[in-house]
């Protein structure tokens, strides 16, 4: 046992009133941000945080992380929730515990560098809405990307937590890039910038216990700010890693409440509370109070999210991350992307190509957004490259990275890749070396003019400035100008119960036998067919509009008789899965019978058309930009000619192979 942890066996009591530890370990709880982001695709709803908020406020956390990362994006895009409103709402329940957020430096809560005016207003409004601690990181560890936000954080009287992304090129700390000196140098830079605390962000769970001991000890010996460790469980090492960090004197660690812990999330809090009980690092937390919170979560909240857990694997530990150094979120994105493209068999090739792409792109750490940038480019290379040409489809974000728009990479980008990516790049073919945001024009005024009166306040304006397409869509819904789609509405515990029963019946085949044929309504000619997947089983479901809300007219496991429902089911009370409406095509139906089509090489969302009907276009020129897995892909004209038809609108979802435009 280290000098830092001493146990006095006589002092062990569960209750909160036990004597305070000499060097109490402080805890930041991540359940309400990174926890559900890691395990439940960031789908946690505010209404499901409220039942435990006041009880969590009593625990004595150093901070609770409630915002930032992917929450802003997911809330407005998929949950129909205003991210700003969540802050204000939760603040009413958390009266004592400071709020912490994850700020992606100049990327804020998005995936690119925003202009300085947007960054400043974002921080200011975030503090106004209740934020107190800004965990600020940059995906390239290029702290020039902090220069705009940090002075505003400080001016607003908030806590600036400087973050260093933990990355490796070797199996353990060391090597030529990410060695101990690298991290100490970065920590000194943060101290000089006025960091109130320094966080090591081990987003992929790569930090090994003895490396943690070495690193934390060196940091404690060399810099003054509080030292905070954030290490994901993914690889299974994090509880051991945290324990060695505690022995080395780490001030604060990040954990989750049990239902939000493990897998690609974080170590659970409760075992630490017990393990440290009576030591000089005792958290002082009331284990009974924690158990009561967990019970509420287990019974009243988590059943609504269980279906989002990645249930393709039994193991809670992913050893692939040790081999490929990919953070959990990135891994599931890659798998989803490949699955949507019907190319899941290519995962092995993706693993092989990944380190090569990463090295060519400057050996950058893999964290949002660089994990997506490297990941999606890797998928594009595997799917679209030919034996004689690599980087055939370069995403807009890789072009930006090659230009220097994200900052300085850890090692220089491969000159050949850089040259190819920047050929014809709109900002110029010569990369920049200055602070990236210096080349960005102010964006607020333009955003203000574009969104007009649809933005009622600065918060709305920021939502639009950060996410022009989906942000605008959300604001239209928020102010009743567009209908809120059913897919964003919350489900209730009763819905879950009904779904479970229906799935159970479907599995047993009972749904088919117990049907009285007389009660089956006629299938109208308006009935539409949907493919529904329930835990790997495929059902063909017909939905017929009956005086408003869609009801199920038949649900048939496939293979089944195709047109007439051979094994029909009674109208079900609740649809088993939210069914996504295919994008409505522009009216009148354009003629796509002749000419050369521009097709979607992947499923995604139309961002914008660069060319419109009547425009002439040269082969290779960008016709339309689609977003897939948050990366923008410019689709080139396969032939020269005149645009004869464009078939979708900005914001529409498209499937692989859909015709997006016709050239004649």
Chain residues that interact with Mn ion, rule: CB under 5 A: 34
**Cβ 200 to Mn ion shortest distance, Å:** 11
Secondary structure class of 278 (helix, strand, coil)? coil
DSSP 283: -
**Cβ 379 to Mn ion shortest distance, Å:** 22
196 CB-near residues (< 8 Å, 6+ apart): 159, 160, 161, 225, 226
Nearer to Mn ion, 232 or 472 (CB): 232
Cα angle for residues 79, 81, 82 (degrees, 5° grid): 145
Could you give the dihedral angle defined by the CA atoms of residues 21, 25, 28 and 34, in that order, rounded to the nearest 10 degrees?
-140
**Cβ 144 to Mn ion shortest distance, Å:** 23
Secondary structure class of 185 (helix, strand, coil)? helix
Q: Please tell me the distance from the alpha carbon of residue 52 to that of residue 158, in angstroms, as a whole number.
A: 25
630 CB-near residues (< 8 Å, 6+ apart): 111, 369, 372, 376
Nearer to Mn ion, 265 or 377 (CB): 265
Nearer to Mn ion, 29 or 34 (CB): 34
- CB nearest Mn ion: which residue? 34
Nearer to Mn ion, 34 or 318 (CB): 34
**Cβ 436 to Mn ion shortest distance, Å:** 23
DSSP 46: G
Nearer to Mn ion, 110 or 468 (CB): 110
Nearer to Mn ion, 34 or 82 (CB): 34
Q: Please tell me the distance from the alpha carbon of residue 527 to that of residue 563, in angstroms, as a whole number.
A: 11
Cα four-point dihedral sign 323, 327, 331, 337? negative
Secondary structure class of 284 (helix, strand, coil)? coil
Q: How many CB atoms lie within 10 A of CB 155?
A: 12
**Cβ 37 to Mn ion shortest distance, Å:** 7
Nearer to Mn ion, 203 or 623 (CB): 203
Nearer to Mn ion, 324 or 611 (CB): 324
Tokens, residue 294: 């967990």
Secondary structure class of 216 (helix, strand, coil)? helix
Element (H, E) at 198: strand 197-202
**Cβ 298 to Mn ion shortest distance, Å:** 23
Q: Give how far the C-alpha of residue 221 lies from the chain's centroid of Cα atoms, to the nearest Å.
A: 35
Q: Please tell me the distance from the alpha carbon of residue 294 to that of residue 288, in angstroms, as a whole number.
A: 10
**Cβ 52 to Mn ion shortest distance, Å:** 20
**Cβ 250 to Mn ion shortest distance, Å:** 16
Nearer to Mn ion, 256 or 625 (CB): 256
Q: Please tell me the distance from the alpha carbon of residue 440 to that of residue 70, in angstroms, as a whole number.
A: 23
**Cβ 100 to Mn ion shortest distance, Å:** 12
């Amino acid at each position: 046992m280290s000098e830092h942890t001493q146990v006095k066996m006589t002092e062990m009591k569960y209750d909160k009133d036990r004597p305070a530890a000499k060097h109490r370990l402080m805890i930041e709880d991540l359940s309400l941000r990174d926890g559900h982001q890691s395990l439940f695709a960031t789908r946690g709803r505010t209404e499901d945080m409220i039942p435990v908020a006041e009880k969590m406020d009593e625990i004595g956390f150093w901070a609770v992380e409630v915002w930032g990362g992917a929450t802003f994006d997911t809330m407005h895009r998929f949950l129909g929730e205003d991210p700003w409103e969540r802050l204000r709402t939760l603040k009413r329940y958390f009266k004592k515990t400071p709020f912490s957020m994850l700020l992606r430096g100049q990327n804020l809560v998005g995936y690119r560098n925003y202009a300085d005016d947007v960054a400043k207003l974002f921080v200011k409004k975030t503090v106004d809405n209740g934020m107190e601690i800004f965990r600020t990181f940059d995906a390239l560890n290029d702290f020039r990307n902090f220069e705009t936000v940090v002075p505003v954080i400080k001016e607003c009287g908030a806590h600036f937590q400087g973050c260093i992304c933990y990355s490796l090129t070797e199996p353990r700390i060391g090597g030529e890039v990410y060695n101990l000196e690298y991290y100490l140098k970065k920590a000194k830079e943060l101290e000089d910038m006025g960091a109130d605390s320094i966080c090591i962000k081990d987003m992929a769970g790569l930090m090994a216990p003895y490396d943690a001991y070495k690193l934390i000890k060196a940091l404690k010996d060399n810099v003054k700010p509080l030292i905070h460790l954030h290490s994901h469980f993914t690889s299974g090492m994090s509880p051991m890693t945290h324990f060695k960090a505690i022995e080395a004197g780490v001030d604060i660690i990040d954990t989750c409440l049990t239902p939000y812990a493990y897998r690609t999330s974080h170590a659970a809090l409760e075992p630490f509370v017990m393990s440290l009980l009576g030591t000089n690092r005792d958290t002082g937390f009331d284990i009974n109070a924690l158990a009561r919170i967990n019970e509420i979560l287990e019974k009243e909240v988590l059943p609504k999210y269980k279906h989002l857990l990645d249930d393709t694997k039994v193991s809670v530990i992913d050893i692939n991350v040790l081999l490929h150094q990919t953070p959990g979120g990135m891994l599931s994105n890659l798998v989803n992307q490949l699955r949507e493209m019907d190319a899941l068999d290519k995962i092995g090739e993706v693993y092989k190509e990944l380190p090569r792409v990463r090295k060519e792109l400057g050996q950058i750490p893999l964290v949002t957004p660089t994990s997506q940038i490297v990941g999606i480019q890797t998928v594009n290379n595997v799917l679209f490259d030919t034996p004689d040409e690599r980087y055939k489809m370069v995403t807009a974000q890789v072009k930006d990275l090659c230009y220097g728009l994200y900052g300085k990479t850890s090692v220089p980008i491969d000159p050949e890749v850089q040259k190819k990516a920047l050929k014809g790049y709109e900002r110029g073919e010569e990369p920049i070396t200055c602070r990236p945001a210096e080349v960005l024009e102010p964006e607020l005024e333009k955003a203000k003019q574009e969104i007009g009166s649809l933005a009622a306040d600065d918060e709305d304006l920021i939502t639009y400035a950060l996410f022009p397409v989906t942000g605008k869509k959300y604001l239209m819904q928020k102010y009743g100008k567009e209908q809120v789609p059913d897919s964003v509405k919350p489900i209730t515990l009763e819905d879950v119960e009904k779904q479970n029963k229906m799935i159970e019946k479907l599995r047993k085949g009972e749904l088919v036998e117990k049907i009285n044929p007389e009660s089956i309504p006629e299938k109208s000619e308006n009935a539409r067919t949907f493919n529904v997947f329930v835990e790997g089983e495929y059902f063909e479901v017909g939905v017929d509009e009956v005086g408003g809300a869609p009801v199920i007219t038949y649900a048939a496991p496939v293979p089944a008789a195709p047109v007439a429902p051979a094994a029909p089911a009674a109208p079900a009370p609740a649809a088993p899965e939210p069914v996504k409406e295919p994008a409505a095509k522009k009216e009148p139906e354009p003629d796509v019978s002749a000419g050369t089509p521009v097709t979607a090489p992947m499923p995604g969302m139309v961002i914008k058309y660069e060319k419109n009907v009547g425009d002439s276009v040269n082969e290779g020129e960008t016709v339309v930009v689609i977003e897939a897995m948050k990366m923008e892909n410019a689709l080139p004209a396969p032939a020269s000619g005149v645009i004869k038809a464009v078939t979708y609108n900005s914001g529409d979802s498209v499937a692989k192979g859909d015709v997006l435009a016709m050239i004649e």
